[in-house]
Structure 1
Amino acid sequence: MKVVSSKDFKLEREVEYGTPEQNKAVKEIVSAIKKEGDTALLRYTEQFDRVTLTPNQLRVTPEELQAAYGRVEESFVSAIQAAAANIRAFHARQKRNSWMDLQPDGTILGQIIRPLKRVGVYVPGGKAAYPSSVLMNVIPAQIAGVPEIVMVTPPSTGGKEGIDPYILVAAAEAGVNEIYRVGGAQAVAALAFGTESIAPVDKICGPGNIYVALAKREVYGAVDIDSIAGPSEIVVLADETAEPAYVAADLLSQAEHDEMASAILVTPSQSLADSVAAEVERQLQELPRQAIARSSVENYGAIIVVESMEEGISVVNRLAPEHLEIVVEDPMGLVGSIENAGAIFLGAYSSEPVGDYFAGPNHIIPTNGTARFSSPVDVDDFIKKSSLIYYSKEALLRDGKTIIELARREGLEGHARAIEIRLKNEGKGGDGYGEQ
């Protein structure tokens, strides 16, 4: 793992929007699903997943969900249940309520909060299956009050055995019973526009490969999406009190996700930098996903040595990382200086996987520096808001001429007349329609 000074480290990271060929392929898939429905969905499932299905086989049956419990360890079920309880407790504190404000003149202003009606959750297969992502997507939607939650996942996440049983058990524990064995861009398009077998949704969330990300971008506008997620990131801000083995392990916990994942240590301690570099190499030798993690740390990882902790904080805020660990003698003392980070982990024992799996906050967090302006997934992602306006006659008579003034200054005479006709009818108009 390379050790560099802050002056030699380039903060820019190219955002991946896919190759022209990938974008073209996704557009064709989305168009075909819109036109052909199930026919195209089944064709692409056979082409890309090498699984032949009939329309009747698309939906996972209740019997399959129940059978999945027999294919996983009891300890896993207990772990999922405990994690789900923590996630529910955390997200329950985010729930909003509708409100109204009644003024003395009879005016009522307010906001109506309603859940989305139907949400689609994409659960990836590929290099790894993520049961924890099922909980992180589904539970906030449930707390928001979404009545219909549908899940899609590739038909061979578990290899020849079909859908990974751990994903199915996580879905069952989260309360999802509408699950379809489809993946890729074709599944995203099916959720967005519907087919004979899958009803369309209002929003699509969940991670996926580049084709899933491009498909979500393609259908945005017809439906809402959570984000266009990039590779995982971790930054560890540490001083000389940090344990090198802990820091190295946490860096590798993200590096093993993907060859394009980013793992960075920022420290004013040259001694810690050297020790962590050696420890990363040692731990890599024993890591089952060594090839992926090594590619990540060599191409997108770094140990940045800064002149001071203040400079380190500045580097962190420019990086705006998905995950930030603060491993210093007084981590709470630095929290107020952190402006840009998706999730902040404080102290030596708040390792990033604590948040990924168990603590309760959502692990779907902004990447590619977008923590500068966006936030982790929460209950707000699954609600919609309507403004409520009731004006009494007294209030309109009081404010009407001011509204007319603003409308005419914008050249919108129809707006002005809509108010003026009411003022005239009540004997308060005065100036007539045509005067400017």
Structure 2
Amino acid sequence: MLSRTDLRGRAHTAAELRRALPRGGTDIDSVLSTVAPVVAAVRDDGVAAALEFGARFDGVTPSSVRVPAPVLAHALASVDPTVRTALEESIRRARIVHADQRRSTTRTEVVPGGSVTEKWIPVARVGLYVPGGNAVYPSSVIMNVVPAQEAGVSSLVVASPPQAAHGGWPHPTILAACALLGVDEVWAVGGAQAVALLTYGGTDLATDADAGTELAPVDLITGPGNIYVTAAKRLCRSVVGIDSEAGPTEIAILADGDADATSVAADLISQAEHDVLAASVLVTDSVELADRVDAEVAAQVGTTRHAERVRTALSGAQSGIVLVDDIDHGIAVVDAYAAEHLEIQTADAPAVADRVRNAGAIFVGRYSPVSLGDYCAGSNHVLPTSGSARHSSGLSVQTFLRGVHIVDYDRSALQEVAPHVVALAHAEDLPAHGDAVSVRFADVPASGSPV
């Protein structure tokens, strides 16, 4: 089921590795022409257009975009107690981790009388997208909401697709997670139309409880979604900020011959059940382990609920086993791959993990599986995909903060540096920049030469 790529026997350049390693992803450009009219229609016609597309794509039209408070309260009251307890524990752990990510204001005195202060200001209003396709993702509510709240965002809205099976509202477990987190603004809208409505806003349908409430646009949109959601984020990012263009989920496992094949196979399968495009890659220096994992995958797939989806993902071009000469070679390979999720199942796993440079999140040892991070490690599971971990980070408190420099120079501090400002302004052929400084002082001529 898992194809093999043999990289043993010679060194490979970074360019060669990018071409040789299993890689999936989606072609966002291929759907832009489909998504662009959706975004334009919602921009021009607001809620009416969003609901029309929702009826076409989701097969349901909610009675209002904003989910009424009683619906949220009922969802929380009705959620399975064991699920509620698990959600509460996930929230608790996420808050512990994300609270430690808060940044403090820093003031630097550059010269006497001249300082630069960096102040971290939360984004004013954010839209958090929670998908609702193959699975229900209350965990994604937590992963989006908690860092936004810990950053101090004062206004946030969760958008999730309406479900025909649940009265036209998002899935009750998603609503229960929102209620647990104190989120009282939830929109029953999904897909590209959700991204567009978050970007441009509109006026909700009139209801008995709420006559035409404004649906205010947001400043930043975060959260994963399908290819149409991602395309809409690309089209809207000139108007709002976005976290990333998320592709299908992926796991890479760097393992040696002593790794437990049963655990490795289970972890590969766990990510493959997300999507037929999900990528599951094992990097190992042991042919024996590769053979054992192959056998375990074949045995375990037959017992998993989403067997057909898993088989499709594992047999796709994006998944496979990569054979390397040794663990040093393996580290170079996983750095080139830059996985969304990277597991290290080797001898001295912490030391090996410490040498890895590129990954969205690193899971160390047999007892730190990716599924722990999906739910209850305290880490965030909204992570960079498709190799973007080489340059991007996962969702965090920093995602929702803006660093603003506050420049405060007094007269003497500006006068001291004025000749340099004037000289550089003339070097760039922007003399008015220099004049803006020299006009404040009689002894700094506009020519750029100090008297």
TM-score category of the 2 structures, normalised to the smaller one: over 0.9
Q: How far is the alpha carbon of 1:34 from its aligned partner?
A: 1.1
Of 323, 332, 335, the residue aligned with 2:341 is 323
How many residues align? The count is 429
Q: How far is the alpha carbon of 1:431 from its aligned partner?
A: 6.5
Matched, 1:407 2:425: yes
Equivalent residue number for residue 305 of structure 1:
323
What 5-or-longer segments of structure 1 have no aligned partner? none
Q: How far is the alpha carbon of 1:17 from its aligned partner?
A: 3.0
Structure 2 CA distance for aligned equivalents of residues 290 and 337 of structure 1: 35
Q: How far is the alpha carbon of 1:13 from its aligned partner?
A: 2.9
Equivalent residue number for residue 273 of structure 1:
290
Equivalent residue number for residue 2 of structure 1:
3
Of 40, 45, 49, the residue aligned with 1:40 is 49
What whole-Å deviation, never above 9, does each CA across 1:36-89 have from its counterpart, x for those lacking one?
Answer: 1122122112222121344xx221111111111343210110000011000000
Please state whether the residue corresponding to 2:20 is helix, strand or coil: coil
Structure 2 CA distance for aligned equivalents of residues 23 and 429 of structure 1: 55
What is the percent sequence identity of the aligned residues? 40
What whole-Å deviation, never above 9, does each CA across 1:22-41 have from its counterpart, x for those lacking one?
Answer: 21221101111111112212
Please state whether the residue corresponding to 1:17 is helix, strand or coil: coil
Distance change >3 Å, CA 328–CA 85, structure 1 → 2: same
Deviates more, 1:191-200 or 1:11-20: 11-20
Q: How far is the alpha carbon of 1:309 from its aligned partner?
A: 1.2
Structure 2 CA distance for aligned equivalents of residues 151 and 356 of structure 1: 19
Q: How far is the alpha carbon of 1:416 from its aligned partner?
A: 1.0
Q: How far is the alpha carbon of 1:241 from its aligned partner?
A: 1.5
Distance change >3 Å, CA 41–CA 411, structure 1 → 2: same
Q: How far is the alpha carbon of 1:340 from its aligned partner?
A: 0.6
Matched, 1:118 2:135: no
Distance change >3 Å, CA 247–CA 432, structure 1 → 2: closer
- The answer to whether the Cα contact below 8 Å between 1:129 and 1:157 also exists between their aligned partners in 2 is no
Distance change >3 Å, CA 126–CA 15, structure 1 → 2: closer
- Counterparts of 1:259-298 in structure 2, within 5 Å, are 259-298=276-315
Structure 1 CA distance for aligned equivalents of residues 131 and 415 of structure 2: 58
What 5-or-longer segments of structure 2 have no aligned partner? 9-16, 205-214
Q: Normalising to structure 2: TM-score of the pair?
A: 0.91
Amino acid at match of 2:274: H
Structure 2 CA distance for aligned equivalents of residues 95 and 209 of structure 1: 30
Q: How far is the alpha carbon of 1:387 from its aligned partner?
A: 0.7
Distance change >3 Å, CA 161–CA 222, structure 1 → 2: closer
Structure 1 CA distance for aligned equivalents of residues 247 and 448 of structure 2: 56
Q: Normalising to structure 1: TM-score of the pair?
A: 0.94
Structure 1 CA distance for aligned equivalents of residues 56 and 82 of structure 2: 37
Amino acid at match of 1:3: R
Equivalent residue number for residue 204 of structure 1:
221
Please state whether the residue corresponding to 1:388 is helix, strand or coil: strand
Equivalent residue number for residue 418 of structure 1:
436
Equivalent residue number for residue 253 of structure 1:
270
Equivalent residue number for residue 429 of structure 1:
444
Q: How far is the alpha carbon of 1:386 from its aligned partner?
A: 1.2
Equivalent residue number for residue 392 of structure 1:
410
Structure 2 CA distance for aligned equivalents of residues 104 and 413 of structure 1: 25
Structure 2 CA distance for aligned equivalents of residues 173 and 263 of structure 1: 33
- The answer to whether the Cα contact below 8 Å between 1:115 and 1:144 also exists between their aligned partners in 2 is yes
- Counterparts of 1:14-413 in structure 2, within 5 Å, are 15-18=25-28, 20=30, 22-54=31-63, 57-102=64-109, 105-156=112-163, 162-197=169-204, 198-299=215-316, 300-413=318-431
Amino acid at match of 2:71: E
Distance change >3 Å, CA 325–CA 392, structure 1 → 2: same
Alignment RMSD? 1.9
Q: How far is the alpha carbon of 1:104 from its aligned partner?
A: 6.2
Q: How far is the alpha carbon of 1:310 from its aligned partner?
A: 1.1
Amino acid at match of 1:131: P
Please state whether the residue corresponding to 2:147 is helix, strand or coil: helix
Q: How far is the alpha carbon of 1:163 from its aligned partner?
A: 2.2
Distance change >3 Å, CA 420–CA 77, structure 1 → 2: same
